[in-house]
Amino acid sequence: MALLVTPQFFNTQSDYVNKSGWAAAQFMGRIEKYVSLPETLPVADLEKVARAWLPNGDKRSIEVLADFAALSQKYLAAIEHTVKQAIYLARQAGRETPDWTDIKTAVKTGSMPADAALSAAIGRAAAPPRAASSPQPTRATSAERSRIIFFAPIFRRALPATLMLWKSYKTNPDKINVRSTTLI
Protein backbone atom coordinates (compact mmCIF):
# COMPACT_ATOMS: atom_id res chain seq x y z
CA MET A 1 0.00 0.00 0.00
CA ALA A 2 1.21 3.51 -0.77
CA LEU A 3 0.18 6.66 1.05
CA LEU A 4 0.80 9.86 -0.86
CA VAL A 5 0.54 12.97 1.26
CA THR A 6 1.40 16.64 1.09
CA PRO A 7 3.67 18.18 3.75
CA GLN A 8 0.55 19.47 5.52
CA PHE A 9 -0.33 15.87 6.47
CA PHE A 10 2.21 15.80 9.28
CA ASN A 11 1.03 19.15 10.67
CA THR A 12 -2.55 17.90 10.66
CA GLN A 13 -1.51 14.60 12.21
CA SER A 14 0.34 16.45 14.98
CA ASP A 15 -2.71 18.65 15.65
CA TYR A 16 -4.92 15.54 15.79
CA VAL A 17 -2.54 13.77 18.19
CA ASN A 18 -2.45 16.84 20.46
CA LYS A 19 -6.25 17.19 20.49
CA SER A 20 -7.24 13.54 20.73
CA GLY A 21 -4.39 11.84 22.54
CA TRP A 22 -4.10 9.28 19.72
CA ALA A 23 -0.83 7.36 19.91
CA ALA A 24 0.64 7.83 16.46
CA ALA A 25 3.75 5.74 17.15
CA GLN A 26 2.23 2.54 15.73
CA PHE A 27 1.25 4.34 12.53
CA MET A 28 4.66 5.97 12.20
CA GLY A 29 6.39 2.66 12.87
CA ARG A 30 4.61 1.08 9.92
CA ILE A 31 6.00 3.59 7.44
CA GLU A 32 8.61 1.49 5.69
CA LYS A 33 9.91 4.06 3.24
CA TYR A 34 9.47 7.80 3.12
CA VAL A 35 10.41 9.68 -0.02
CA SER A 36 10.30 13.45 -0.11
CA LEU A 37 9.51 14.78 -3.57
CA PRO A 38 11.04 18.02 -4.85
CA GLU A 39 9.01 21.19 -4.37
CA THR A 40 9.62 22.27 -7.95
CA LEU A 41 10.22 20.35 -11.12
CA PRO A 42 12.84 21.06 -13.77
CA VAL A 43 11.50 22.75 -16.90
CA ALA A 44 12.10 19.53 -18.84
CA ASP A 45 9.68 17.70 -16.53
CA LEU A 46 7.10 20.48 -16.86
CA GLU A 47 7.42 20.13 -20.62
CA LYS A 48 6.76 16.39 -20.31
CA VAL A 49 3.59 17.13 -18.35
CA ALA A 50 2.57 19.66 -21.01
CA ARG A 51 3.28 17.09 -23.72
CA ALA A 52 1.11 14.55 -21.87
CA TRP A 53 -1.81 17.00 -21.87
CA LEU A 54 -1.13 18.23 -25.41
CA PRO A 55 0.41 15.26 -27.28
CA ASN A 56 0.32 16.95 -30.70
CA GLY A 57 1.38 20.38 -29.45
CA ASP A 58 4.11 22.31 -31.23
CA LYS A 59 7.34 23.25 -29.45
CA ARG A 60 6.24 26.83 -28.78
CA SER A 61 2.96 25.70 -27.15
CA ILE A 62 4.73 23.16 -24.95
CA GLU A 63 7.31 25.74 -23.82
CA VAL A 64 4.64 28.32 -22.99
CA LEU A 65 2.62 25.77 -21.02
CA ALA A 66 5.71 24.71 -19.05
CA ASP A 67 6.81 28.28 -18.39
CA PHE A 68 3.34 29.35 -17.30
CA ALA A 69 3.10 26.36 -14.94
CA ALA A 70 6.41 27.39 -13.35
CA LEU A 71 4.96 30.86 -12.68
CA SER A 72 1.46 29.85 -11.67
CA GLN A 73 0.20 29.23 -8.17
CA LYS A 74 -1.70 26.30 -9.67
CA TYR A 75 1.60 24.83 -10.89
CA LEU A 76 0.88 21.57 -12.76
CA ALA A 77 -2.87 22.17 -12.74
CA ALA A 78 -2.20 25.35 -14.76
CA ILE A 79 -1.16 23.14 -17.68
CA GLU A 80 -4.33 21.06 -17.45
CA HIS A 81 -6.63 24.08 -17.17
CA THR A 82 -4.95 25.94 -20.02
CA VAL A 83 -5.06 22.93 -22.36
CA LYS A 84 -8.74 22.34 -21.53
CA GLN A 85 -9.48 25.98 -22.38
CA ALA A 86 -7.50 25.68 -25.61
CA ILE A 87 -9.41 22.52 -26.58
CA TYR A 88 -12.67 24.39 -25.99
CA LEU A 89 -11.47 27.29 -28.17
CA ALA A 90 -10.38 24.90 -30.93
CA ARG A 91 -13.75 23.14 -30.92
CA GLN A 92 -15.55 26.48 -31.06
CA ALA A 93 -13.50 27.17 -34.20
CA GLY A 94 -14.44 23.80 -35.69
CA ARG A 95 -11.13 22.07 -35.01
CA GLU A 96 -10.64 18.96 -32.93
CA THR A 97 -7.19 19.79 -31.56
CA PRO A 98 -5.83 23.13 -30.37
CA ASP A 99 -3.02 24.95 -32.14
CA TRP A 100 -0.64 27.70 -31.03
CA THR A 101 -3.25 30.45 -31.33
CA ASP A 102 -5.62 28.52 -29.05
CA ILE A 103 -2.88 28.03 -26.43
CA LYS A 104 -1.89 31.69 -26.65
CA THR A 105 -5.49 32.85 -26.30
CA ALA A 106 -6.17 30.44 -23.43
CA VAL A 107 -3.15 31.73 -21.50
CA LYS A 108 -3.82 35.43 -22.19
CA THR A 109 -7.56 35.55 -21.70
CA GLY A 110 -8.23 32.65 -19.36
CA SER A 111 -5.38 31.21 -17.35
CA MET A 112 -3.33 34.31 -16.49
CA PRO A 113 -6.29 36.45 -15.39
CA ALA A 114 -7.81 33.52 -13.47
CA ASP A 115 -4.47 32.80 -11.78
CA ALA A 116 -4.05 36.45 -10.81
CA ALA A 117 -7.59 36.56 -9.40
CA LEU A 118 -6.99 33.36 -7.42
CA SER A 119 -3.70 34.68 -6.02
CA ALA A 120 -5.35 37.94 -5.00
CA ALA A 121 -8.21 36.09 -3.29
CA ILE A 122 -5.82 33.82 -1.41
CA GLY A 123 -3.73 36.83 -0.42
CA ARG A 124 -6.77 38.65 0.94
CA ALA A 125 -7.89 35.56 2.85
CA ALA A 126 -4.44 35.05 4.38
CA ALA A 127 -3.95 38.72 5.29
CA PRO A 128 -4.36 39.56 8.97
CA PRO A 129 -7.53 41.53 9.73
CA ARG A 130 -7.04 45.28 9.83
CA ALA A 131 -7.76 47.35 12.87
CA ALA A 132 -10.93 49.40 12.55
CA SER A 133 -9.03 52.66 12.96
CA SER A 134 -6.41 51.99 10.28
CA PRO A 135 -6.93 53.92 7.04
CA GLN A 136 -8.26 51.81 4.19
CA PRO A 137 -6.17 51.85 1.01
CA THR A 138 -7.73 53.33 -2.07
CA ARG A 139 -8.85 50.53 -4.35
CA ALA A 140 -9.19 50.83 -8.09
CA THR A 141 -12.74 51.03 -9.35
CA SER A 142 -13.99 48.31 -11.66
CA ALA A 143 -13.62 50.72 -14.59
CA GLU A 144 -10.00 51.41 -13.64
CA ARG A 145 -9.29 47.70 -13.15
CA SER A 146 -10.64 46.94 -16.61
CA ARG A 147 -7.99 49.28 -18.04
CA ILE A 148 -5.14 47.65 -16.13
CA ILE A 149 -3.56 45.00 -18.30
CA PHE A 150 -0.82 42.59 -17.28
CA PHE A 151 0.35 40.17 -19.93
CA ALA A 152 3.98 39.28 -19.55
CA PRO A 153 5.73 37.52 -22.41
CA ILE A 154 6.29 33.89 -21.47
CA PHE A 155 9.29 32.81 -23.47
CA ARG A 156 12.54 31.35 -22.23
CA ARG A 157 14.49 34.53 -22.95
CA ALA A 158 12.04 36.65 -20.93
CA LEU A 159 11.38 34.18 -18.13
CA PRO A 160 13.49 35.82 -15.37
CA ALA A 161 11.86 39.24 -15.85
CA THR A 162 8.45 37.67 -16.30
CA LEU A 163 8.87 35.62 -13.13
CA MET A 164 9.89 38.71 -11.15
CA LEU A 165 6.95 40.76 -12.44
CA TRP A 166 4.48 37.91 -12.04
CA LYS A 167 5.54 37.23 -8.43
CA SER A 168 5.29 40.95 -7.67
CA TYR A 169 1.87 41.09 -9.31
CA LYS A 170 0.65 38.04 -7.37
CA THR A 171 1.96 39.50 -4.09
CA ASN A 172 0.45 42.96 -4.51
CA PRO A 173 -1.60 43.36 -7.70
CA ASP A 174 -2.88 46.82 -6.74
CA LYS A 175 0.60 48.35 -6.78
CA ILE A 176 1.67 47.19 -10.24
CA ASN A 177 0.44 48.58 -13.52
CA VAL A 178 2.50 46.97 -16.26
CA ARG A 179 1.56 47.81 -19.81
CA SER A 180 2.96 45.74 -22.60
CA THR A 181 2.16 45.51 -26.26
CA THR A 182 4.28 42.37 -26.53
CA LEU A 183 1.75 39.65 -25.96
CA ILE A 184 2.78 36.00 -26.11
Name the more confident of 26 and 51.
51
Name the more confident of 169 and 107.
107
Q: Which amino acid is at 118?
A: L
**What letter would DSSP give residue 57?**
-
Mean pLDDT of the 90-103 span: 94
Q: What is the pLDDT of residues 60-69, one digit of tens each?
A: 999 999 999 9
13 pLDDT above the threshold of 50: yes
**What letter would DSSP give residue 155?**
S
Mean pLDDT of the 63-89 span: 92
92 pLDDT above the threshold of 90: yes
pTM of the model: 0.58
126 pLDDT above the threshold of 90: no
166 pLDDT above the threshold of 60: no
65 touches 57 (CB < 8 A) = yes
89 touches 96 (CB < 8 A) = no
Query: What whole-number distance in Å separates Cα of residue 38 and Cα of residue 25?
Result: 26
Q: Which amino acid is at 140?
A: A
3-class secondary-structure state, position 30: coil
124 pLDDT above the threshold of 50: yes
Q: What is the pLDDT of residue 137?
A: 52
Beta strands in 64-123 (DSSP E): none
Percent of the chain residues past pLDDT 90, beyond the cut: 31
Q: What is the pLDDT of residues 28-66, one digit of tens each?
A: 888 888 888 788 889 999 999 999 999 999 999 999 999
Candidate from 19-23, 122-126, 177-181 with smallest mean pLDDT: 177-181
